[in-house]
Amino acid sequence: MTSEMKLKSSNPFYHLAYWVFILITLTLVFGQKWENAITAFYFISLMMPIVLGTSYFFNYYLVPRFLLKKRLFKFGLYTIYTIIVSFYLEYIVLIYAYVYLAQYRFQSIAPNATDTILLGVILYLLVILGSVLLMLKQIKEKQLLIEDLSVEKEKIKRAVLELKSNRKLIKIPLDEILYIESMSDYIMVQTSNDRISSKERISHIIERLPSTFLRIHRSYIVNTDKISSANMSEISLADHLLPIGRSYKALVKEKIL
């Protein structure tokens, strides 16, 4: 039974906060130039779907599917197609914006609004900025993943659990441990043919064990390699039946069942 380590999924809150920040910033910038913040807000709101679509298509489809796989020709080709489609959609938005604003009798729309070069620059600067932020986030997550893997490798490399028992330091091979039980102020390590007690806390022990060991109850840690059967209420190891704690059921289901 293995435990998969994955990068954390993106938090939708950060995406929403980022684009709200972009909307407010562009509204303020264009609102000052046009001397009409309401017009700027309506116009930028019409442009946002293009910005969002281009950004997510580029960052979450073109980059991982082609750039990261070094399929550079297709990446360049589809990027050009994306740019063409984006500019085409910009013209549609411009036409609709004139009609929309005219219907609401806004006096005029500033010259910058029809400057497609400016719009293109803003659009792709936002896409590039989003790409940079995304890559920085992924780099940070990969660094954390590498650190976790290093810690895991070190735990496996030791392959023994060192404990003090009866004032002696003993080394218990990990592959001999069936489970560890918390007994109030000490723990009991159940091996294939022995029981070893130690003045340790179960919460401290789990931090020193590799991912093959899983806490299934406030009082139990099991060696998942020794599990013979399991369901949502208990786990069987050799001749031992251990209960699964209510707050640990989801974790057991994910890692074992």
Residue 215 predicted with pLDDT over 90: yes
Residues 40, 30: Cα–Cα separation, whole Å: 6
pLDDT at 236 (0 to 100): 93
- Average pLDDT value for residue range 30-53: 76
Whether 177 and 223 have beta carbons less than 8 Å apart is answered as yes
Residues 6+ apart with CB under 8 A from 195: 188, 189
Q: Dump pLDDT digits (tens) for 27-37.
A: 787 777 666 67
**Is 211 buried (19+), middle (13-18) or exposed (0-12) by CB count in 10 A?**
middle
Mean pLDDT over residues 217-237, rounded?
93
The pTM of this model reads 0.47
How far apart CA 82 and CA 123 sit, in angstroms, is 12
What is the amino acid identity at position 226? K
Residue 170 backbone zone (phi > 0: left; psi -120 to 50: alpha; other: beta): beta
pLDDT score recorded for residue 103: 55
Angle at 93 between CA 91 and CA 98, to 5 degrees: 100
pLDDT digits (tens, 9 = 90+) for 170-180: 989 988 999 99
Asked if 178 and 238 touch (Cβ cutoff 8 Å), the reply is yes
